[in-house]
């Protein structure tokens, strides 16, 4: 398909294979399609998500890197910035043109100089520090703000369930 | 695109700055990264400079600016007209990519030798200045036995003169071999120089100068020419790094078999510099303007496209895409490139781009250049856009065969058919070429041929397989 996108994805894959940040594994699901990646993200320490390993799917558009990829947690996890369908809502995944919430700073948004590695690192930091001002999952936002203990408990329970314990 | 190789194989072909991490000069990782475009992550191709001081590939940034008029790095406002070409960076990147593989190979080899000599202290000695063998190589590498000589290596790149003396000096210091100590630095140099002589053993008195590549009598080379050459070179270097001595360096003391590639390496060392010093801005061809598509009629758009010798097929949106992409290719080529290519090459690039990009987004099938590259070229065979003559010509042989088979099968079926009907369909078969194409492609009999039964359909199937 798109040569530029494919070449660039290859570069990023090589880079991730040679030197991936701690707690992150990512790569294309099949050899035939470089535009869909599977990622494993481990929950950052000192967060409710510690100890969990979360599976996510990265979907790249054909005009990557001009447009940002989409990131979906499969299955979805309870988090103020993750929609119930698993879609992650963070500024780095929004191109500067579309700002659904009219609050994001331009410099935090997607530009071709960003990379898969930076996205996944942002997701890690999103897990440690939810941003409830741009909530995607309102229930999770309220729970996180008003009843942190219950929030932590629910997250822990789902982690244990996902690990089959 | 059809990909023949596996992902793993392709990955092994992808260059990455981290390739240098495991060499003796890991700092080169930085250089490698700096020479890459932030958008495509590949080495800069026709780099352009933004007013905010950032450099990208011309095509990458132009494509980005078509949707977002900001610098992707610092988000400062940026328009296409503000871009300036950077011929120097272009040549630096080009000369670097040219030597990169050799540099990497050499530096990894060096590391291996380092590891070897660290474990195995039996360093052999240069027995004879004119005779080279692998122990000699090991002896040379022996100096690199200490890990802290990265700085030495960098200096070596900086000037060869320095390198030569340093190298033999190192040999004296690091490898505590008595025999080695007996070697005077002068012998070291001559042995190194002798090495470069090896590709031409028939003329033992001549040696190639490692800097300019010209052959000189060994004597002259050692006494005067080398100094002259180095002086001229450092003068060049102050103007342009692309003529840096990095080029010949890798093969300089690599195994003799590689010295045969000397001449092919030496030439580009100066070509990049020459190209840069002779480069002029391109004023002969004008910038292709952006069109305001909302106020451009379809007719105007078609006119504009055909004046550029581009196809005027497809939907309005496809024509707009076609123009925009061509405008980008054009401006990148004629305004930014140090070495512009011909228009016909630009059109070919446009065609290959259309095949993968301009077809997928529109509901309508693309026309023009990419028509025959897409899956269903028969899409618009009923409209005026379909090139009937061209199609008939392209499939002449298949049609002829089809007609022959049809006639044969008609003869066979004559007894059971009424004659009028047979004649009718026979004339139709020969006159309605385009309808037989329908059969051939889609295997659905068209109206005129519908009256006939299995015979024709079967024969057309066999002919479509041809």
Residue range B212-242, pLDDT digits in tens: 666 666 666 666 666 666 655 544 444 444 3
Q: Is the pLDDT of residue B335 over 90?
A: no
**pLDDT score recorded for residue B215:** 66
Distance CA B456, CA B410 (A): 9
| Mean pLDDT across B51-75 | 88
Q: Which of A89, A123, A127, A159 is catalytic?
A: A89
Q: What percent of chain B has pLDDT over 90?
A: 5
Q: What was the pLDDT predicted at A71?
A: 93
Nearest CB among B3, B11, B39 relative to A65 is that of B39
Greater pLDDT, B307 or B452 = B307
The answer to whether B70 faces chain A, any CB pair under 8 Å, is yes
Interchain proximity B16–A6, CB inside 8 Å? no
What top-level class would CATH report for the domain A3-162? alpha beta
Q: Which residue has the higher pLDDT, B51 or B388?
A: B51
Distance CA A114, CA B72 (A): 9
Task: Work out the average pLDDT over B250-275.
Answer: 51
Position B375 scores a pLDDT of 41
Helices (H), B160-241: 160-174, 178-182, 185-197, 218-220, 226-239
pLDDT band at A3 (very low <50, low <70, confident <90, very high): confident
- Cβ of A10 and B64 within 8 Å? no
Give the three-class secondary structure for A59: strand
Grade residue A59 by pLDDT with cuts at 50, 70 and 90.
Answer: very high
In B348-367, the residues whose Cβ lies within 8 Å of chain A are: 356-357, 360
CA distances to B299, B300, B322 from B295, rounded to whole Å, are: 11, 10, 17
**Among B10, B38, B75, beta carbon nearest to A106:** B75
pLDDT category of residue B11 using cuts at 50, 70 and 90: low
Is the pLDDT confidence value at B280 over 60? yes
The C-alpha of A152 sits at a distance from chain B's nearest C-alpha, in angstroms, of 38
Over the stretch A71-116, which tens digit does the pLDDT of each residue have? 999 888 899 999 989 999 888 888 766 555 556 666 678 888 888 9
Q: Where residue A36 falls among pLDDT bands split at 50, 70, 90?
A: very high
Q: Does B18 contact A7 at a Cβ distance shorter than 8 Å?
A: no
Query: pLDDT tens, B155-200?
Result: 444 444 444 444 444 444 443 344 444 444 444 444 444 444 444 4
Q: Which of B3, B41, B63 sits opposite A66 (nearest CB)?
A: B63
CB–CB of A106 and B73 under 8 A?
no
Closest-approach residue (CA) in chain A for B76? A107
Query: Within an 8 Å CB–CB cutoff, is residue A158 touching chain B?
Result: no
Chain B nearest-CA residue for A8:
B40
H/E segment holding residue B412: helix B396-413
Q: What is the mean pLDDT of chain B?
A: 65
* A105 and B CB contact within 8 Å: no
Alpha carbon separation from B316 to A21, B122, B302, B346 (Å, rounded): 46, 76, 9, 21
Whether B1 and chain A come into contact, CB under 8 Å, resolves to yes
Average pLDDT of the segment spanning A42-59 = 90
Q: Check CB contact of B73 with chain A, cutoff 8 Å.
A: yes
Best probe of the B interface among A5, A67, A91, A111, by most B CBs < 10 A, is A111
Residue of B nearest to A30 (CA): B7
Are B366 and B322 within 8 A, CB to CB? Answer: no
- Using an 8 Å CB-CB cutoff, list chain B residues near A95: 68
Give buried/exposed letters for A39-54 (b at 16+ CB in 10 A, else e): bebbbbeebbbeebeb
Q: Note the pLDDT of residue B209.
A: 65
pLDDT of residue B17: 82
When comparing pLDDT for B343 and B412, which is higher?
Answer: B343
Neighbours of B129 (CB within 10 A): 18
Q: Would the CB atoms of B41 and A12 count as touching at under 8 Å?
A: yes
Query: A113, B41: Cβ pair inside 8 Å?
Result: no
Cβ within 8 Å, pair A2-B70: no
Residue B49 pLDDT: 93
pLDDT(A64) > 70: yes
Q: Can you give the pLDDT at residue B2?
A: 44
CB contact under 8 A, A18 and B18: yes
pLDDT by residue (tens digit) across B166-176?
444 444 444 33
Please state, in angstroms and as integers, the Cα–Cα distance from residue B165 to each residue in A149, B144, B405, following that order.
Answer: 71, 14, 84
Mutate to test the interface with B, among A2, A5, A14, A61 (most CBs of B within 10 A): A14
Lowest mean pLDDT among A25-39, B3-17, B238-252: B238-252
Structure tokens at B226: 């080398």
Contact B272, B91 (CB under 8 A): yes
Residue range A130-152: mean pLDDT, rounded: 87
Q: List the A70-73 sheet strands across, edge first.
A: A24-28, A36-42, A53-59, A70-73
Q: What is the mean pLDDT of residues B54-83?
A: 87
Domain ranges of chain A: 3-162
pLDDT of residue B57: 92
Q: How far apart are CA B72 and CA A66, in angstroms?
A: 10
- Residue B368: band (very low, low, confident or very high) from pLDDT cuts 50, 70, 90: very low
Does residue B324 sit at the A interface (CB-CB below 8 Å)?
no
Please confirm, yes or no, whether A89 is among the known catalytic residues.
yes
- Tell me how crowded residue B45 is: count the other CB atoms within 10 A of its CB: 19
CB spacing of A62 vs B357 below 8 angstroms: yes
Q: How far is A124 from chain B (nearest CA, A)?
A: 23
CB-based contact B18 A15, cutoff 8 Å: yes
How many residues belong to chain A?
165
**Three-state DSSP class for B46?**
coil
Q: Is the pLDDT of residue B133 over 90?
A: no
Which comes out higher in pLDDT, residue A57 or B361? A57
Whether B204 has a pLDDT exceeding 70, the answer reads: no
* The pLDDT of residue B377 is above 90: no
Predicted local distance difference test score (pLDDT) of residue B221 = 65
Judged against a pLDDT cut of 70, whether residue B432 lies above it is answered with: no
pLDDT attached to residue A14? 84
In this prediction, residue B25 carries a pLDDT of 86
| Residue B268 in this model has a pLDDT that exceeds 80 | no
Over residues B365-371, the mean pLDDT reads 42
- Say how far apart CA B102 and CA B109 lie, in whole Å: 10
Average pLDDT over residues A138-158: 89
Strand order in the sheet with B55-57: B55-57, B47-49, B84-85
Question: What pLDDT shows up at residue B119?
Answer: 64
On the question of pLDDT at B14 being above 70, the answer is yes
pLDDT averaged over chain A? Answer: 85
Chain A neighbors of B11, CB-CB under 8 A: 10, 13-14, 17
């Amino acid at each position: 398909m798109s040569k530029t996108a494919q070449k660039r994805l290859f570069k990023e894959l090589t880079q991730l294979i040679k030197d991936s940040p701690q707690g992150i594994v990512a790569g294309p699901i099949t050899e035939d399609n470089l535009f869909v990646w599977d990622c494993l993200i481990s929950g950052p320490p000192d967060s409710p998500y510690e100890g969990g390993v979360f599976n996510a799917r990265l979907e790249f558009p054909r005009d990557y890197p001009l447009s940002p990829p989409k990131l979906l947690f499969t299955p979805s996890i309870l988090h103020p910035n993750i929609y119930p369908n698993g879609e992650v809502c963070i500024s780095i995944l929004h191109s500067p043109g579309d700002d659904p919430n009219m609050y994001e700073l331009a410099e935090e948004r997607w530009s071709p100089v960003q990379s898969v590695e930076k996205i996944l690192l942002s997701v890690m930091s999103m897990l440690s520090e939810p941003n409830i001002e741009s909530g995607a999952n309102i229930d999770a936002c309220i729970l996180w703000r008003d009843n942190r203990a219950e929030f932590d408990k629910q997250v822990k329970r789902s982690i244990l369930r996902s690990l089959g314990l | 695109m059809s990909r023949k190789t596996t992902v793993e194989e392709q990955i092994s072909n992808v260059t990455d700055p981290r390739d240098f991490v495991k060499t003796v000069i890991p700092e080169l990782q930085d250089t490698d990264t700096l020479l890459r475009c932030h958008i495509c992550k590949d080495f800069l191709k026709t780099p352009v400079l933004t007013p905010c001081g950032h450099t990208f590939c011309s095509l990458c940034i132009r494509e980005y600016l078509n949707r977002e008029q900001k610098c992707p790095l610092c988000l400062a406002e940026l328009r296409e007209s503000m871009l300036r070409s950077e011929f120097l960076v272009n040549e630096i990147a080009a000369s670097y990519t040219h030597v990169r593989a050799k540099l990497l190979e050499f530096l990894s080899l060096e590391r291996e030798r380092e590891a070897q000599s660290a474990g195995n202290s039996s360093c052999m000695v240069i027995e004879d200045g004119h005779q080279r063998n692998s122990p000699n190589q090991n002896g040379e590498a022996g100096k690199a036995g200490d890990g802290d000589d990265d700085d030495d290596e960098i200096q070596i790149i900086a000037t060869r003169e320095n390198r030569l003396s340093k190298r033999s000096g190192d040999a004296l210091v690091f490898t505590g071999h008595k025999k080695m100590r007996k070697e005077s630095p002068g012998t070291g140099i001559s042995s190194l120089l002798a090495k470069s002589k090896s590709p031409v053993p028939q003329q033992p008195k001549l040696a190639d100068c490692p800097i300019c590549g010209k052959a000189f009598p060994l004597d002259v080379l050692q006494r005067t020419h080398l100094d002259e050459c180095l002086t001229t070179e450092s003068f060049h270097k102050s103007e342009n790094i692309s003529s840096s001595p990095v080029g010949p360096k890798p093969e300089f003391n690599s195994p003799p078999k590689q010295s045969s590639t000397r001449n092919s390496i030496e030439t580009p060392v100066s070509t990049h510099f020459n190209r840069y010093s002779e480069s002029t801005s391109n004023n002969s061809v004008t910038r292709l303007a952006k069109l305001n598509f909302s106020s451009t009629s379809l007719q105007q758009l078609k006119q504009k496209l055909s004046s550029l010798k581009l196809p005027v097929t497809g939907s309005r949106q496809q024509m707009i895409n076609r123009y925009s992409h061509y405008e980008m290719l054009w401006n990148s080529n004629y305004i930014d490139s140090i070495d512009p290519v011909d228009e016909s090459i630009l059109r070919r690039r446009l065609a290959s781009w259309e095949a993968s990009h301009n077809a997928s987004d529109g509901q309508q099938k693309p026309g023009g250049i990419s028509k025959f590259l897409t899956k269903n070229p028969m899409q618009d065979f009923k409209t005026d856009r379909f090139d009937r003559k061209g199609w008939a010509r392209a499939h002449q042989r298949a049609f002829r065969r089809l007609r022959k088979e049809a006639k044969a099968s008609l003869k066979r079926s004559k007894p059971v058919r009424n004659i009028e009907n047979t004649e009718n369909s026979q004339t139709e078969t020969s006159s309605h070429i385009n309808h037989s194409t329908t059969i051939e492609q889609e295997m659905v009999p068209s109206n005129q041929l519908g009256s006939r039964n299995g015979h024709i359909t079967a024969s057309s199937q066999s002919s479509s397989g041809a």
